[in-house]
Amino acid sequence: MTQTPLPERLPRVAVVTGGSGGIGAAVSRRLARDGMTVVVAYAGRPDRAEQVVADIVAAGGQATAEQADVADEGEVAALFDRVEQAHGGVDVVVHTAGIMLLAPLAELDLADFDRMHRTNVRGTVVVDQQAVRRLRPGGALVNFSTSVTSLALPTYGAYVATKGAVDALTMVLARELRGRDVTVNAVAPGPTATPLFLDGKDQETIDRLAAAPPLERLGQPDDIAETVAFLAGPGRWVNGQVLLVNGGVAR
């Protein structure tokens, strides 16, 4: 009996916001190695986004760069429209875009808090809203939080307030998508050697934070990208979770 061959499966399509940044770039490259078509979404610095795309294409993968302000609902909706028109749909959304401005609460410039809230909270709501409307069955949404929500380090108060909102939204969305075969999780990195983390810190502070995990080193963007790849791929039974990815730093 001759079997009818299965139709050729098209590559899964992943949108990575903040895809030109340290962790976002590593995530983009890692998902491309898994065979996904990656859309590197960026707000500024198109040169960096195009370099990530060039790296992926040079390694035999498929990628494009798209600009959007994650907190602007019109721009984000247009981004997803372009992705669907170009690639037929969206299977994975990884929302890495975020900013971190540190100060003790007594000295906090509320304009800095407003900037973080716009990008980290409103941006997550805007991107997640489009993601949950459009992700195909078998899809995955991965938000980005921080391990500092549980470590409670001084000067991080306003920043972790924005990321606590991401944690809560992630768990609610996982339940709202009941029956859709779409997972929703958040990754919460610990100290990771990216410009976002290293900027403004002296070497003593960096060394102290690097010594905190039992593995006695800072995380690397590729460490975080491996966890994202698991959640975006085979990790289908992990859902509604905030995963601490920090080398074992104690709470």
pTM above 0.85, yes or no: yes
Q: Report, as ranges of residue numbers, the positions in the chain whose pLDDT lies below 70.
A: 1-9, 200, 250-251
What's the pLDDT at 203?
86
Structural domain contains residue 27: yes
Q: Whose CA is closest to 38, among 66, 16, 58?
A: 16
Question: Residue 211, Cβ neighbours under 10 Å: how many?
Answer: 12
User: How many Å apart are CA 105 and CA 102, to the nearest integer?
Assistant: 9
Structural domain contains residue 5: no
Structural domain contains residue 155: yes
Q: Is residue 52 within 8 Å of 20, Cβ to Cβ?
A: yes
Structural domain contains residue 8: no
What's the pLDDT at 1?
47
Residues 6+ apart with CB under 8 A from 232: 14, 31, 34, 36, 92, 94, 140, 142
Structural domain contains residue 41: yes
Domain count, the chain: 1
Structural domain contains residue 28: yes
What's the pLDDT at 6?
38
DSSP-assigned letters across all residues of 27-71:
HHHHHHHTT-EEEEEESS-HHHHHHHHHHHHHTT-EEEEEE--TT
Structural domain contains residue 212: no
User: How many Å apart are CA 87 and CA 79, to the nearest integer?
Assistant: 12
Q: Can 159 be counted among the known catalytic residues?
A: yes
Q: Tell me the CATH number at 90.
A: 3.40.50.720
Residues 6+ apart with CB under 8 A from 77: 130
What's the pLDDT at 204?
83
User: How many Å apart are CA 34 and CA 232, to the nearest integer?
Assistant: 10
What's the pLDDT at 9?
52
Which segments within the chain are labelled E, that is strand? Answer: 13-17, 37-42, 62-67, 90-95, 135-144, 182-189, 242-245
Of 42, 113, 144, 159, which one is the catalytic site residue? 159
Structural domain contains residue 65: yes
What's the pLDDT at 7?
41
Residues spanned by the domain of 155 = 13-191+222-244
